[in-house]
Amino acid sequence: MTDTDTKNIEALPRGEALLHDPLLNKGTAFTLAERRALGLEGLLPPHIHRLEEQVARVMDNYRNKQTDLERYIHLVSLQDRNETLFYRVVVDHIEEMMPIIYTPTVGQACQQWGHLFRRPRGLYVSWEDRGRVEAVLRNWRLPDVRVIVVTDGERILGLGDQGVGGMGIPVGKLSLYTACAGIDPSRTLPVMLDVGTENEGYLRDPLYMGLRQKRIRGAPYDAFVAEFVEAVKRVFPRALLQFEDFGNQNAFRLLEQWRERVCTFNDDIQGTAAVTLAGLYTALRLTGKSLREQRVLFLGAGEAGIGIGDLIVSAMVDEGATLEEARRNCCFVDSHGLVVKSRTGLAEHKLRFAHDLPPAPGFQAALEAIRPTAIVGVSTVPRSFDQRVIETMSRMNERPIVFALSNPTSKSECTAEEAYRWSGGKAIFASGSPFPPCHLDGKTFVSGQGNNSYIFPGVGLGVVACQARLVTDRMFAAAARTLASLVLPSDLELGRIYPSLTRIREVSAHIGAAVAEVAFQDGLAGVPRPADPLAMVQAEMWHPAYRTYA
């Protein structure tokens, strides 16, 4: 044993304390020398297993579970015991695991959070902690946090207000940061800001784990969030702060308030926009058209829809369109019909897309009036892209672009099979949640999943690697172009407009390099530009392999 190894051993907890630390625990993979040096003899079965053998045991148990929620619980329990093994399982089986550790199954977990709770993960910062938020953050035992995902639980996926159960989203997002982009799990922190809930069912549930009160609103809410952000700057000065699943009335305002002051972004607005723009870029390889020629009709005018519209407009302007022309090419339908200038009481974020058009009472009427080349569903209204909608799009376009992006699966505007069948196989389809392959007239279609996991992990990786001071829209535009460029001809032949998830770590590395390059160009990086930004980003990536302690 070298001196370095000795110091390494001496710094570790011993015995059962080591086995209860998920970042250090190796379970039955501890060698005989490690067991003797670390006080583990007798605490583990005698046979020493390789990591690959442990993965096989996990998968055997996993596949014996009867429901996806049971599989989720099984994996989260593993994560609480042994993070290296958890991430090795996820990375080796990413296509199988993604729908379990994130959407759609994580939505079920959020809905039952108080009933499934086993052990805490991350930090719960409640309204009752105001004035002491910095002290709460300092209770976190790992000082070098680089990525924080925070939610207040108000708009979880398409499920609405989940209160403190929304913690499942930051936990799941950060799992994807590590699995998809190699962010060291010891440098991640999920945070739940508990300011109450409007969900009457939870307020009546004796097992609900959050504050039993209605949500704090207005100036007191803003002051509480501000205290949190300022505390993050002091306690974790090198951290990227991702806002996640905040309600529309807060999401846009908080992003505008903080985006020029701290290293932050909102994935629902900017990440969703980038993955959708990437899908459009790829779809245009199939249609042979330019982005400037597209007319996009959105169903849903919340943070996701408006964020997508803004980024598409920016990309069209980059291709030579005027700002006015680009905005005219993006139209929105909300719960009151087509967003037009003559409507009163429009929310601030909708005004720039309120065009001088006649009113249209619903999506079908707007479809006939606008005659779009692409429709984008971000409404959380299931089956709103019905047969008539798809058939109308197919009549208007040789290759209609149909993106049903609402999550979870139960909220999707249509299924992959419906889009392909009702369009006679003409649709270029993507969805927010995964759908199985579709077989139609002797052809197999494998739809693309326009999931933000293609974007935010790589963006975060690039920001962390170059120590960017801010996160900008130019970074998300670069991420979208990079993602589209990585779609292979073999993907397009199947109808898939995103790369296979099996390539997600490769994709994230290239996106990270593109994001870092923007930071270097714009003077936002905290390190000098290296000769090879991709190599710099790849060197930052953590891999799920056991450390040797003795």
Give the confidence band of 238 by pLDDT, cuts at 50, 70, 90. very high
Write down all domains in the chain, each with its CATH number in brackets.
3-99 (1.20.1370.30), 100-262 (3.40.50.10380), 270-452 (3.40.50.720)
Round to whole Å and give the CA distance between 493 and 472.
34
User: Does residue 278 register a pLDDT over 80?
Assistant: yes
205: CB partners within 8 A, 6+ apart: 114
Phi then psi dihedrals of residue 156, to 5 deg: -85, 115
Confidence of residue 187 (pLDDT cuts 50, 70, 90): very high
**C-alpha 376: how far from chain center:** 18
Find the DSSP H helices in 502-547: 504-521, 533-540
What average pLDDT does this structure show over 539-545? 97
Confidence tier at 9 by pLDDT (50, 70, 90): confident
The sheet carrying 448-449 orders its strands as 337-338, 330-334, 296-299, 374-377, 401-404, 428-431, 448-449
Of 102, 202, 281, 420, which one is the catalytic site residue?
Answer: 102
8 has pLDDT over 80: no
Using CA atoms, how far residue 47 sits from 35, 43, 54, 460, in Å, is 12, 12, 12, 40
Assess whether the previous peptide bond of 533 is cis (omega < 30° from 0).
Answer: no
CA–CA dist 334, 350 (Å, integer): 10
Looking at residues 336-347, what average pLDDT do you find?
94
Q: pLDDT for 117-161, tens place per residue? A: 989 999 999 999 999 999 999 999 999 999 999 999 999 988 999
**Count of Cβ atoms closer than 10 Å to residue 43 Cβ:** 13
In angstroms, the CA 174 to CA 179 distance is 9
Given a cut of 60, is residue 6 above it in pLDDT?
no
Mean pLDDT score of the chain, rounded to an integer?
A: 95
Cβ atoms of 490 and 502 within 8 Å: the answer is no
Structure tokens at 387: 């047969």
pTM score, two decimals? 0.94
- The number of CA neighbours under 13 Å toward the Cβ of 418 is 17
* Mean pLDDT, rounded, for 522-538: 98
CB atoms within 10 A of CB 474: 16
Mean pLDDT, residues 446-462? 95
pLDDT at 358 over 80: yes
pLDDT at res. 3: 41
Residue 369 has a pLDDT of 96
Residue partners of 55: CB distance under 8 A and separation at least 6: 85, 88, 89, 92
Q: Which member of 26, 87, 124, 173 is catalytic?
A: 173
> How large is the average pLDDT for residues 59-75?
97
Beta strands in 172-263 (DSSP E): 188-194, 240-243
Residue bearing tokens 């993960």? 121
The pLDDT of residue 2: 40
Is 173 among the residues known to form the active site?
A: yes
At 455, is the secondary structure helix, strand, or coil?
coil
- Which of 68, 37, 235, 73 minimizes the C-alpha distance to 146? 235
What angle, rounded to 10 degrees, do the helices at 51-62 and 68-81 form?
A: 150
**Which pLDDT value is given to residue 434?**
87
Main-chain phi, psi angles of 506, to 5 degrees: -65, -45
Alpha carbons 304 and 296: distance in angstroms, whole number: 14
User: At residue 257, does pLDDT exceed 60?
Assistant: yes
Mean per-residue pLDDT, 50-60? 98
User: Is the predicted pLDDT of residue 88 greater than 70, yes or no?
Assistant: yes
Between CA 385 and CA 158 the distance in angstroms is 16
Residues facing residue 331 across a β-bridge: 297
Q: Reply yes or no on whether the pLDDT at 214 is more than 70.
A: yes
pLDDT at 1 over 60: no
* Cβ neighbours for 314, distance < 8 A, ≥ 6 positions apart: 326, 473, 477
- Reported as a pLDDT band with limits 50, 70 and 90, residue 11 is confident
- What pLDDT digit, counting tens, does each position of 372-414 carry? 999 999 999 999 999 999 999 999 999 999 999 998 888 999 9
Burial of 341 (0-12, 13-18, 19+ CB in 10 A): exposed
Checking if the pLDDT of 75 tops 60, the result is yes
Q: Is 281 a catalytic residue?
A: no
Specify the 3-state DSSP secondary structure of 395.
helix
41 or 303, which is more confident: 41
Q: How large is the average pLDDT for residues 291-306? A: 95
Cα torsion at 455, 456, 459, 460 (round to 10°)? -160
Whole-number pLDDT of residue 448:
86
